[in-house]
Amino acid sequence: MIRTLVVTRSGRDPEAESARAAFAAEGHPDVRVRFESVFRLEGNCDLERIGRLFANPAAGETLVEDQGLERAGDECVVEVAYRPAVVDPETESALEAARLMGVPGLEWLRAGRRYVVTGVDRAEAERVITKHLFNEVVQVIVRPGDYQQSLRPTGSPEPVQTYDLMGLSDAELSELSQRMGWYAPLGQLQALRAHQAERGRPWTDVEIEMVVQSWGDHCYHTTWKGLGLLKGLMAATREINHPLCLSIFTDNAGAIRFYGGYAVFIKGETHNHPSAISTKGGVETKHGGVLRDIIFMGRGGYPIGSSTIMGTRRPSEPESEVPAGALHPRTIVLESISGTASYCNPMGVPMMYALYRAHPGYAKCMALGQCIGIAPEDTIEKLEPQPGDVLLLIGGATGRDGVHGAVASSAQLTAEMVEKEGATVQIGHPIVERKFTNLVPALRDKGWIRTCTDLGAGGISCCVGEIAARCGADVELDGLPLKDASLASWEKWVSESQERGLLVIGADHLDDVQAECRRYAVDCYVLGRCRNDGRLVVTDGGATVADLDLRFLWDACPIDRLTTKEPGVARAPVPPSGCGELNKDLAVRVLGDFACCDQSWAVHQFDSTVQGRTVVGPLTGGVPSDAYVSAPIRGKPYGMVSACAFVPRWSEVDPVGSVGSLMALAISRSVAVGASLEDIALCGNYYTPSRTPEQLWYLEHMVLQGAARLSKLFGTPFISGKDSSSGTFRSSDGQAIDVPHTFVPSTLCRMPDVRKVTTKPFRRTGDAIVAVWPRCTPSMAGTVALELLRGDGGGPACLAWPCDENDLVGLWRRLAQSRGLLSSAAAIGEGGAFLQIMHGCLASGLGAEVHVDADDALWLLLGEPAGGFLLTSAKADELESALQGFEVHRLGHVTYGPGVRVSAGGTTVIHTDDWPELVGAWSTAFEKEVLR
């Protein structure tokens, strides 16, 4: 029996008010809407008793029997629910609550939302709702008569298929791969055909799916291996031989030694593909994925910091200019904020920083998530599974979510794929992940975990394949808890349902571990046991569905030799003079630029103080902090510092040169708050256009000539990172749009005493304002100012870069030695020294008086020199003396504010009276861009 209950609300409904504001901004001022919640219950339970779960009269909620979708008068009802194959996050909670309330008979629940619209006819109401409050990839409009039979996904699984590749030509192999959604290159298909000849039987679908996803670029990093990039980066890290490095590129995350017997570790990963087609789910997936990387690092870790970094086209872009088949960038930004909030907040992991940047190349958006974790140092090494060890799957049930996600993420995004690969996106269920976030460290501390790994790309297939690579395993899929009874064996095997992890435990601990799982309300399933011969044998429904030698899986992947070709583009610095002049109008435009403006409207939606570890959060005094600082060990002042750099303009103008500038910015941000160069390690994430010889040349040089070489020069090792080389969008009208060659370096540092952090807010009236950077060839290339003056970034061109790269190292060291002279410190990035002066004033309520030569004004205040700092000090002479040998510019002094006065060559170009306009431009631009 299916019963439908509807919850109506009296009084103010802020969500409905917010929706009405959005409708009005989009030209529908007459549309009025009320929200109702709808719950469909399957089973025979006491509605009166269960009703209290759905409505609290004290909160103005009233539970009513379903009135149907037809209403009298001018009201029309549009009901939205998840697609039938998606399990509502509320379902599990409802079943659990019914059990706890002692209400028997509830078998399943589906939740939905009804929009009661007035002011327009039904067709228009449906159009408005689907435009603003609906995602066709994961949701449906409910029609009268739906849900007659059962609420649960039903059906029978397809039988196991076999594929005989022996008789197929190369062309037929490729055609089959495309048709089946394997997206495998021909070399791999040929290897599969050859191996079939050796073992003498066709492939089952389980086996072939396992091989193609394991060999995909997403899991096997074929592009990077083909270019020798990972090898180059690891060789540089080994050569640095940093005493703090504990785990580099081998586990889920890269780890360094912390204090007090602990290690801290970092992981960053992009989820561009799902975020581009269904942003909220995709962004939830990215956060869920990196958080699990941390939770299953070593023998179990605990996440202590998250970040979100999004690259899109301009959110205010007119509808007509959005590439055909792509989501509107405003939708992507708003949904990404919603996805980050809906995942990271329930996970209880503090937000370290949230960056939103725009570039026309991001038709396929960039969605990078990072996470930092902590664990006792002696638990960060995984132990080797032993024969007979139990493979225990923990967390959520397995559904059709993300099937082919790993291979799809390695492919170019096309307009058609937005529709076709909708199944690669799933709905986040962070509470399931939160539960094992508590469980895993508890099991680790009891010594019960031999090794563990998370289920992400490739699902059970990838994680069993990796964890049992040497020993092999027997796996039984028959009793696997499923969201959808119709899943075929191969779908169970490669499903990327999130919120799952795999523990390898000694058989003698199984009962204890299962008992702890029950206490922490974590579901678990004995998936199988380890063997001793390297074979993987998978059974389902009593039949063997896969029998594979894992040595083939990990040793036989053909790596294509990739050809690179130098694009042959001439690059030169863009000199400051002649670009334009500094004046109030330019300053206002810089402050209102999407990269420079106040993004706190988004940042305030993310919990940044949960866990009680935050020392410096994403905002300080209302302006963006240079770095996140945490004191992870309770009661101790030991600090973990993390900063990052993401500047698409720099990447576009000079893809290879920008790698150094970005590394310098991330390191300078860490040094500004108080980290020493000796205590800094790096994580690098890359997002580059699809593979052509020219694009691969850039990638190769970004990694080897940029990141690897400079990491050695700076002495800052790369310990983790990830790449995606599928940053090309092909629109439905045939246009190919490449992302800029994106590199995002992030630091992971430690500092001995967080009480000594330095932050941006100005401290004292009269303090000198000093800018310092290495001696360099001035260049306005890639700056915000140049783009506003000329309409482009000046490229291809060279960014401002030190004449002697060793100067950067010298400056970081010298600054660390001069820390006692500083009142405030900030690294100079987008928006130049001027933006940092504004931040110093805004965060403190103080003001600034700035004097520069007319010829230098643009460069000194709006240039973006690599590794530069904006400092204030009460002992300016001493500071200047300490920084001798670098470019030191005393720009002015701190005043009793508020307001900034700037004079260039004796002429005032920005008056203190301009302050409200400057602040207004900075503080309102983000909301204007994303909300209208």
Which residues contribute to the site for other proteins (CB under 8 A)?
A: 11-15, 17-18, 52-54, 56-61, 89-90, 93-94, 96-97, 100-101, 341, 345-348, 351, 429-431, 434-435, 438, 518-521, 603-615, 631, 634-635, 637, 754-755, 757
Q: Is the CB of residue 427 less than 8 Å from the CB of residue 82?
A: yes
Least Å distance between CB 478 and other proteins? 27
Least Å distance between CB 59 and other proteins? 4
User: Which of residues 46 and 474 has its CB atom nearest to other proteins in the complex?
Assistant: 46
Least Å distance between CB 194 and other proteins? 49
Other C-beta atoms lying within 10 Å of the C-beta of residue 199:
12
The tokens for 164 are 């005989």
User: Which of residues 445 and 849 has its CB atom nearest to other proteins in the complex?
Assistant: 445
Residue indicated by tokens 């530069």:
868
Report the C-alpha gap between 733 and 736 in whole angstroms: 9
User: Which of residues 191 and 431 has its CB atom nearest to other proteins in the complex?
Assistant: 431
Least Å distance between CB 633 and other proteins? 11
User: Which of residues 201 and 446 has its CB atom nearest to other proteins in the complex?
Assistant: 446
Least Å distance between CB 5 and other proteins? 11
User: Which of residues 461 and 823 has its CB atom nearest to other proteins in the complex?
Assistant: 823
Please report, for residues 59, 269, 463, 563, 830, the alpha-carbon distance to residue 534 in angstroms, rounded to integers and kept in the order given.
59, 30, 15, 35, 52
User: Which of residues 414 and 620 has its CB atom nearest to other proteins in the complex?
Assistant: 620
Report the C-alpha gap between 593 and 928 in whole angstroms: 11
* Helices first, then strands: H and E counts in the chain: 32, 39
Report the C-alpha gap between 18 and 605 in whole angstroms: 15
Least Å distance between CB 668 and other proteins? 23
User: Which of residues 54 and 356 has its CB atom nearest to other proteins in the complex?
Assistant: 54
Report the C-alpha gap between 265 and 288 in whole angstroms: 16
User: Which of residues 199 and 519 has its CB atom nearest to other proteins in the complex?
Assistant: 519
Report the C-alpha gap between 57 and 60 in whole angstroms: 5
Least Å distance between CB 605 and other proteins? 5
Residue indicated by tokens 């390695």:
410
The tokens for 800 are 């401002």
User: Which of residues 13 and 381 has its CB atom nearest to other proteins in the complex?
Assistant: 13
**413 three-class SS:** strand
Written as one string, the DSSP assignment of 634-663 is: TT---EEEE-B---HHHHHH-TTHHHHHHH
Radius of gyration of the chain (CA): 28
Least Å distance between CB 617 and other proteins? 9
Least Å distance between CB 533 and other proteins? 40
User: Which of residues 93 and 316 has its CB atom nearest to other proteins in the complex?
Assistant: 93
**297 three-class SS:** coil
User: Which of residues 219 and 602 has its CB atom nearest to other proteins in the complex?
Assistant: 602
Q: Is the CB of residue 380 less than 8 Å from the CB of residue 247?
A: yes
Residue indicated by tokens 């069993």:
464
Please report, for residues 369, 415, 423, 617, 746, the alpha-carbon distance to residue 614 in angstroms, rounded to integers and kept in the order given.
19, 42, 37, 6, 18
Q: Is the CB of residue 619 less than 8 Å from the CB of residue 601?
A: no
Least Å distance between CB 488 and other proteins? 30
User: Which of residues 69 and 111 has its CB atom nearest to other proteins in the complex?
Assistant: 111
Least Å distance between CB 613 and other proteins? 8
Report the C-alpha gap between 375 and 911 in whole angstroms: 52
Other C-beta atoms lying within 10 Å of the C-beta of residue 916:
10
Q: Is the CB of residue 282 less than 8 Å from the CB of residue 409?
A: no
User: Which of residues 345 and 903 has its CB atom nearest to other proteins in the complex?
Assistant: 345
User: Which of residues 89 and 422 has its CB atom nearest to other proteins in the complex?
Assistant: 89
Least Å distance between CB 725 and other proteins? 35
Report the C-alpha gap between 580 and 862 in whole angstroms: 11
Q: Is the CB of residue 643 less than 8 Å from the CB of residue 626?
A: yes
User: Which of residues 593 and 679 has its CB atom nearest to other proteins in the complex?
Assistant: 679
Least Å distance between CB 612 and other proteins? 3
Q: 827-853 burial, b if ≥16 CB within 10 A, otherwise e?
A: bbbbbbbbbbbbbbbbbbebbbbbbbe
End-to-end CA distance of the chain: 46
Least Å distance between CB 602 and other proteins? 10
- Interhelix angle for 657-673 vs 806-817, to 10°? 10
One-letter amino acid at 69 equals L
Least Å distance between CB 523 and other proteins? 11
One-letter amino acid at 181 equals G
β partners of residue 529: 390, 474
Dihedral pair phi/psi, residue 530, rounded to 5°:
-75, 145
